[in-house]
Amino acid sequence: MRFIGLKSAMLAAGLMLAGVGHAAPQAAPATTAPSASAPAATAPAATTNAAKPAAAAVSNDPMLALDGAPYMTPKPGIGDAVDGDIGIQPQVTKNGEFAKWMHNWLLFPLITAISALVLFLLIWVMIRFNRRANPVASKTSHNTFIEIIWTLVPVLILVLVAIPSIGLLSAQFKPPPKDAITLKATGNQWYWTYSYPDNGGFEITANILKEKDEVAAGERARTDADGPRLLAVDNRVVLPVGVPIRLITTSADVIHSWAIPAFWIKLDAVPGRLNETSFTIDADKPGLYFGQCSELCGVKHGYMPIAVEAVPLDVFNRWVKAKGGTVAGAKPAADAAAAPADNASAPADNVAADNSTGL
Ligand SMILES: [Cu+2]
């Protein structure tokens, strides 16, 4: 009897620890500090349709690398997992920040408290009501007060969790405003292609950057300036901060999933179908953010990373022009007429910067 009691206690403790353990991080590649000596030439060079004249026009800008891509190196702890860290990555979208708050301050404390209460009750029952301590068992079969409590309290807890949950769910599927910038991500076995339909429809292809010992002579290999191993790509996605982004995903072959943890975005890319969501990267959080395909899509599923450079709108517009695309301000009047008025989430200074460059 005593042995069984001990076993139950161990089991209960194990269950509780398992709940806590869920917050442990996945084994993540170490974030490497940006190499101070990395020259600008290590930034992406190859593109599918680089527009030479436009690139030449902006090549004096230190923010723009050879192909017009802004030059940005990864920063430890931003847009990527950190060794030994637990919990959710720092979030840079409103939904992500709310979800992280909900996890840290509502769900996790709730789970911990419930687990601790159940463990306490188990241990108490085992000590106080085992055969030796309590040889004559009580015949009590009902207690209305306790039954009301243990029905009402779980209901209240579920309602408490449901209210912010449903709010977050609907926020995640809120349609983007009319003036959102569209990014279309297409999954392929095993790389991503991106197009910007609102910016002239130019396309870029992003492949993983291999390590030095994996590439043929003369082929480009990953450097620390590109990003961590298995996360660095040859051509990064560039998106503006503070501007609503409409993300559309689809696939050319099997189901993939476009996911950036720091954006709180994970959207399946399904062949023959368009999935859509939207997000706005915080205006004060430009940076380099990494993600991976998050749907098992074949043997190289783990080798189709995603890297997003979030930059101010004026830099984004210059990059778009360098790629041969068009920018929103230059659209025909019919398209542009509705845009400025309801552009609530775009910071005024970015809009001003956009206009001042005469785009
Ligand atoms: Cu995939």
Question: Ligand 1 center to residue 256 CA distance, Å?
Answer: 4
Averaged pLDDT for residues 306-334: 80
As a whole number, the mean pLDDT across the chain is: 78
> Using alpha carbons only, how large is the chain's radius of gyration in Å?
26
Q: Are 79 and 262 in contact (CB under 8 A)?
A: yes
Question: Ligand 1 center to residue 191 CA distance, Å?
Answer: 7
Q: Where are the domains of the chain?
A: 82-131+152-172, 181-329
Q: Are 73 and 318 in contact (CB under 8 A)?
A: no
Question: Ligand 1 center to residue 251 CA distance, Å?
Answer: 9
Question: Ligand 1 center to residue 37 CA distance, Å?
Answer: 33
Give the DSSP letter of residue 106. I
pLDDT of the residue at 217: 84
Instruction: Output the DSSP codes for 20-42.
Output: HHTTSPP--PPPPPPPTT--GGG
Question: Ligand 1 center to residue 290 CA distance, Å?
Answer: 15
Tell me the fold of 181-329: Immunoglobulin-like (2.60.40)
Averaged pLDDT for residues 306-326: 89
> pLDDT band at 215, cuts 50/70/90?
confident
**pLDDT reading at 67 higher than 60:** no
Give the separation between CA 291 and CA 308, rounded to whole angstroms.
Answer: 8
Averaged pLDDT for residues 30-37: 38
pTM: 0.70
Question: Ligand 1 center to residue 250 CA distance, Å?
Answer: 11
> pLDDT band at 184, cuts 50/70/90?
very high
Question: Ligand 1 center to residue 258 CA distance, Å?
Answer: 8
Residue with the larger pLDDT of the pair 319 and 158? 158
Question: Ligand 1 center to residue 260 CA distance, Å?
Answer: 13
**pLDDT reading at 34 higher than 70:** no
pLDDT of the residue at 336: 40
* Sequence-separated (6 or more) residues with CB below 8 Å from residue 50: 67, 68, 322, 323, 324
Give the separation between CA 279 and CA 96, rounded to whole angstroms.
Answer: 9
Question: Ligand 1 center to residue 205 CA distance, Å?
Answer: 14
Both tokens assigned to 149: 């409590």
pLDDT of the residue at 46: 39
Averaged pLDDT for residues 127-148: 92
Question: Ligand 1 center to residue 327 CA distance, Å?
Answer: 30
Question: Ligand 1 center to residue 206 CA distance, Å?
Answer: 12
Over residues 267-303, the pLDDT tens digits come to 999 999 999 999 999 999 999 999 999 999 999 999 9
**pLDDT reading at 142 higher than 60:** yes
Place of tokens 């890297």: 307
Residue with the larger pLDDT of the pair 61 and 121? 121
